Amino acid sequence: MNASGKRLTLILLMAPLLIWLVALIVIPHMEILYVSLREKVGVREYEFGFANYMVFFNEPLYWNTFMRTAVMSILATALTLLIGFPVSYYIAKLTRGRSKTILFLLCLIPFWVSELVRTYGWMILLRESGLVSGFLQYIGLASEPIEFLYNDAAIMVGLVYTSMLFMVVPLVTTLDSLDDSMIEAAYDLGGGGVSVWREIVIPHAMPGIVSGCIIVFMLSLGNYLTPILLGGKDSLWFTGLIYSQFITRFNWELGAAFGMLLLVLSSTIVWAGLKLSGQTLTRTVGR
């Protein structure tokens, strides 16, 4: 094949990826950046400026929601890791063959139904007339119905539940690749449970931990359904603010500015996380 033929093949093969990247990622973001930098001075009259961003910095409610979303997402990520790690270790190291497949499937099954249905499942359990409240009354621990929904704990439960699979999958993969004899060697050389975990298991699983955390953090930060449904109208989730600017207030300019801020926030936190754990994006996500 001649040189131009090779070029054509390359372009044709790259085309779907390039179209997808440009049309669905680059162009919308450029558009949002452009919209966010427009100041409305009159009806259909705009001029360039940072007024939309200034609104965000001058209004404590926006600020607080922004920080609250970040902190809650980090917390949700940490909790998911804390629960997901033992589960993954059990699946990867302590089970064999059939039971391993079954346990893995059990983690996957909740994701066969839509997120909406799953979240309604939690609402059925946690609402005032729900199963948990009814059970507590039945065994006599509560004298009247208790509302478990519409608070931060409910949001946290929903976020952790929704994200679990995305933590377990990368962790199981990395832990699977840890040679059993490595753990045995560490015990043989005098290591105890704690030191084997600290020096062998966790350092080996680090790429999996970091990639799992990145995915879970992104999912939590950008989650809209779970915080709104489980947290109620006072959930104060940043995606909720973006939604209300775009849809309720028709203030696309401010909504676009919020969107850009969310992008900057998530990128900054992921970058900081990578720096803190001494990992790189190519080593973790690129595996």
Partner 1 sequence: MAEAVNDLDCRDISKNFAAFKAVRDVTFSVPPGTFFSILGPSGCGKTTLLRMIAGFLEPTSGDLLIKGRSMLDVPPNKRPVSMVFQHLALFPMMNVGANIGFGLRRRGVAKAEIAKRVEAVLERVGLPGAGPRGVDELSGGQKQRVAIARCMVLEPDVLLLDEPLGALDLKLREHMKIELKQLQWEFNTTFVYITHDQSEALVMSDQIAVMNHGVFEQVGTARDLYYNPETAFVAGFVGESNRFAGKVEEAGGGTLKVRTPSGLPLMGTAAAGSLAVGDAVDVFVRPEAVRLSPTSEGVAGQPNVSSGLVDSVLFNGANSRVLIRDAATGGEIDVALPQTGEFHSLKRDDPIHIGWDTAQTLCFAAAGEGS
Closest CB to partner 1 among residues 33, 200: 200
Beta-carbon neighbour count of residue 159 at 10 Å? 26
**Distance in Å, CB of 190 to partner 1, minimum:** 4
| Nearest of 150, 145, 118 to residue 132 by alpha carbon | 145
Largest CA distance in the chain: 83
Task: Give least dist CB 159 to partner 1, A.
Answer: 31
| Nearer to partner 1 (CB atom), residue 206 or residue 225 | 206
Residue 237 in tokens: 């989730």
Name the minimum Å distance from CB 181 to partner 1.
4
249/287 with CB nearer partner 1 = 287
Name the packing angle between helices 115-126 and 131-138 (round to 10°). Answer: 20
Smallest gap from Cβ 194 to partner 1, in A, equals: 10
User: What residues from 168 to 207 belong to the interface with partner 1 (CB under 8 A)?
Assistant: 179, 181-182, 184-192, 195, 199-200, 203-204
Neighbouring residues of 275: CB distance < 8 A, sequence distance ≥ 6: none
**Per CB under 8 A, does 128 bind partner 1?**
no
Assign 129 to helix, strand or coil: coil
Burial of 53 (0-12, 13-18, 19+ CB in 10 A): middle
Positions in 198-257 near partner 1 (CB under 8 A): 199-200, 203-204
- For partner 1, give the closer residue by CB, 173 or 244: 173
Between 192 and 286, whose beta carbon lies closer to partner 1?
192
For the stretch 194-231, what's the b/e string if a residue is b when 16 or more beta carbons lie within 10 angstroms of its beta carbon? eebbeebbeebbbbbbbbbbbbbbbbbbbbebbbbbbb
Instruction: Name which of 142 and 183 has its Cβ closer to partner 1.
Output: 183
Long-range CB contact pairs, 279-286, < 8 A, 24+: 279/206, 279/207, 279/210, 283/207, 284/207, 284/208, 284/210, 284/211, 284/214, 285/211, 285/214
Task: Give the nearest distance from C-beta 196 to partner 1 in angstroms.
Answer: 9
Supply 260's token pair. 């850009």
Total residues at interface with partner 1 (CB under 8 A): 17
* Complex with partner 1: residue 75 or 206, whichever CB lies closer: 206
CB of 216 to partner 1, least distance (A): 24
Find the shortest distance in angstroms from Cβ 200 to partner 1: 6
Residues of this chain that bind partner 1 (CB under 8 A): 179, 181-182, 184-192, 195, 199-200, 203-204
